[in-house]
Amino acid sequence: MVVPKITTFLMFNGQAEEAINLYIEAFEDAEILAMVKYDENDEEPTGAVQHAIFRLKDQVFMAIDNMNGVDIDMNPAMSLYVTVDSPLEMERLFSKLKSGGAILMPRTEMPPFREFTWIIDKYGVNFQLALPDKK
Protein backbone atom coordinates (compact mmCIF):
# COMPACT_ATOMS: atom_id res chain seq x y z
CA MET A 1 0.00 0.00 0.00
CA VAL A 2 1.40 3.37 -1.01
CA VAL A 3 0.16 6.36 0.97
CA PRO A 4 0.52 9.66 -0.92
CA LYS A 5 2.81 12.32 0.54
CA ILE A 6 -0.25 14.50 1.19
CA THR A 7 -3.36 12.70 2.43
CA THR A 8 -6.68 14.03 3.70
CA PHE A 9 -6.95 13.18 7.40
CA LEU A 10 -10.33 13.12 9.16
CA MET A 11 -10.85 13.10 12.92
CA PHE A 12 -14.24 11.91 14.13
CA ASN A 13 -15.78 12.15 17.58
CA GLY A 14 -16.15 8.42 18.16
CA GLN A 15 -17.79 7.68 14.80
CA ALA A 16 -14.81 7.00 12.52
CA GLU A 17 -15.66 3.39 11.70
CA GLU A 18 -19.34 4.21 11.12
CA ALA A 19 -18.43 7.11 8.80
CA ILE A 20 -15.85 5.08 6.88
CA ASN A 21 -18.37 2.28 6.36
CA LEU A 22 -20.91 4.79 5.01
CA TYR A 23 -18.34 6.15 2.56
CA ILE A 24 -17.28 2.66 1.45
CA GLU A 25 -20.94 1.82 0.83
CA ALA A 26 -21.72 5.11 -0.95
CA PHE A 27 -18.77 5.20 -3.35
CA GLU A 28 -18.11 2.58 -5.99
CA ASP A 29 -14.53 1.31 -6.09
CA ALA A 30 -13.84 1.95 -2.40
CA GLU A 31 -12.19 -0.07 0.33
CA ILE A 32 -10.72 -0.03 3.81
CA LEU A 33 -6.98 -0.54 3.42
CA ALA A 34 -6.12 -0.75 7.12
CA MET A 35 -7.90 -0.20 10.42
CA VAL A 36 -6.40 -0.46 13.90
CA LYS A 37 -8.74 -0.26 16.88
CA TYR A 38 -8.03 0.16 20.54
CA ASP A 39 -8.46 -3.03 22.56
CA GLU A 40 -9.03 -3.84 26.22
CA ASN A 41 -5.31 -3.37 26.97
CA ASP A 42 -5.38 0.30 25.90
CA GLU A 43 -6.42 3.30 27.96
CA GLU A 44 -8.80 4.43 25.20
CA PRO A 45 -12.28 2.91 24.71
CA THR A 46 -12.20 -0.60 23.25
CA GLY A 47 -13.22 -0.57 19.59
CA ALA A 48 -12.45 3.09 18.94
CA VAL A 49 -10.43 3.68 15.77
CA GLN A 50 -6.80 4.35 16.57
CA HIS A 51 -5.90 4.74 12.89
CA ALA A 52 -7.58 3.87 9.60
CA ILE A 53 -6.62 4.18 5.96
CA PHE A 54 -9.31 3.91 3.30
CA ARG A 55 -9.69 4.59 -0.40
CA LEU A 56 -12.55 6.19 -2.31
CA LYS A 57 -11.92 5.75 -6.03
CA ASP A 58 -8.29 6.81 -6.49
CA GLN A 59 -8.07 8.98 -3.35
CA VAL A 60 -6.57 7.75 -0.08
CA PHE A 61 -7.85 9.06 3.27
CA MET A 62 -6.84 8.53 6.88
CA ALA A 63 -9.11 8.74 9.91
CA ILE A 64 -9.10 8.38 13.68
CA ASP A 65 -11.51 8.70 16.56
CA ASN A 66 -10.89 11.80 18.67
CA MET A 67 -10.15 10.54 22.17
CA ASN A 68 -9.20 13.79 23.94
CA GLY A 69 -12.65 14.21 25.52
CA VAL A 70 -13.45 17.44 23.67
CA ASP A 71 -15.57 17.13 20.53
CA ILE A 72 -14.03 18.83 17.53
CA ASP A 73 -16.35 19.97 14.74
CA MET A 74 -15.58 19.65 11.06
CA ASN A 75 -15.45 22.95 9.18
CA PRO A 76 -17.13 23.79 5.83
CA ALA A 77 -14.05 25.80 4.84
CA MET A 78 -12.57 22.39 3.97
CA SER A 79 -14.60 20.06 1.76
CA LEU A 80 -14.18 16.95 -0.33
CA TYR A 81 -14.81 17.85 -3.97
CA VAL A 82 -16.10 14.88 -5.95
CA THR A 83 -16.49 14.81 -9.72
CA VAL A 84 -19.16 12.21 -10.38
CA ASP A 85 -19.39 10.17 -13.57
CA SER A 86 -23.14 9.88 -14.09
CA PRO A 87 -26.54 11.07 -12.91
CA LEU A 88 -26.97 7.68 -11.21
CA GLU A 89 -23.75 8.16 -9.22
CA MET A 90 -24.85 11.72 -8.33
CA GLU A 91 -28.17 10.43 -7.02
CA ARG A 92 -26.58 7.60 -5.02
CA LEU A 93 -23.94 9.82 -3.37
CA PHE A 94 -26.36 12.67 -2.72
CA SER A 95 -28.92 10.37 -1.10
CA LYS A 96 -26.47 8.48 1.10
CA LEU A 97 -24.33 11.43 2.17
CA LYS A 98 -27.16 13.86 2.96
CA SER A 99 -29.01 11.34 5.13
CA GLY A 100 -28.88 12.75 8.66
CA GLY A 101 -26.85 15.73 7.44
CA ALA A 102 -27.77 18.98 5.71
CA ILE A 103 -27.87 20.45 2.23
CA LEU A 104 -25.67 23.54 2.12
CA MET A 105 -26.38 24.20 -1.58
CA PRO A 106 -29.32 22.52 -3.32
CA ARG A 107 -28.75 20.47 -6.46
CA THR A 108 -28.60 22.90 -9.34
CA GLU A 109 -27.15 23.44 -12.79
CA MET A 110 -23.97 25.48 -12.53
CA PRO A 111 -21.97 25.67 -15.76
CA PRO A 112 -19.72 23.94 -16.57
CA PHE A 113 -21.60 21.37 -14.48
CA ARG A 114 -24.87 19.74 -15.43
CA GLU A 115 -25.52 19.36 -11.72
CA PHE A 116 -23.78 20.60 -8.58
CA THR A 117 -24.55 20.35 -4.87
CA TRP A 118 -22.81 20.91 -1.54
CA ILE A 119 -23.82 18.82 1.46
CA ILE A 120 -22.61 18.14 4.97
CA ASP A 121 -22.99 14.57 6.16
CA LYS A 122 -24.13 13.54 9.64
CA TYR A 123 -20.50 13.42 10.79
CA GLY A 124 -19.82 17.02 9.74
CA VAL A 125 -17.77 16.18 6.62
CA ASN A 126 -18.50 18.52 3.70
CA PHE A 127 -18.89 17.16 0.17
CA GLN A 128 -19.18 19.12 -3.05
CA LEU A 129 -20.61 16.85 -5.75
CA ALA A 130 -20.21 17.93 -9.37
CA LEU A 131 -21.58 16.22 -12.49
CA PRO A 132 -19.80 17.66 -15.56
CA ASP A 133 -21.85 18.77 -18.55
CA LYS A 134 -21.44 16.19 -21.34
CA LYS A 135 -22.36 18.61 -24.17
The answer to whether residues 127 and 93 touch, using CB atoms and an 8 Å cutoff, is: yes
CA distance 69 to 8: 23
- Which fold is adopted by the domain 8-65? 3.30.720
The answer to whether residues 27 and 88 touch, using CB atoms and an 8 Å cutoff, is: no
Question: 39 burial class (0-12, 13-18, 19+ CB within 10 angstroms)?
Answer: exposed
Q: Is the N-terminal amide bond of 111 cis, ω within 30° of 0? A: no
Same topology for domains 8-65 and 80-132, yes or no? no
- Which fold is adopted by the domain 80-132? 2,3-Dihydroxybiphenyl 1,2-Dioxygenase; domain 1 (3.10.180)
Q: What does the pLDDT read at residue 135? A: 58
Per-residue pLDDT of the chain in tens (135 residues, 90 and over written 9): 778 889 999 999 999 999 999 999 999 999 999 999 999 999 999 999 999 999 999 999 999 999 998 999 998 899 999 999 999 999 999 999 999 999 999 999 999 999 999 999 999 999 999 999 875
User: Which sequence spans correspond to the domains of the chain?
Assistant: 8-65, 80-132
Put simply, whether the predicted model's pTM sits higher than 0.85 gets the answer: yes
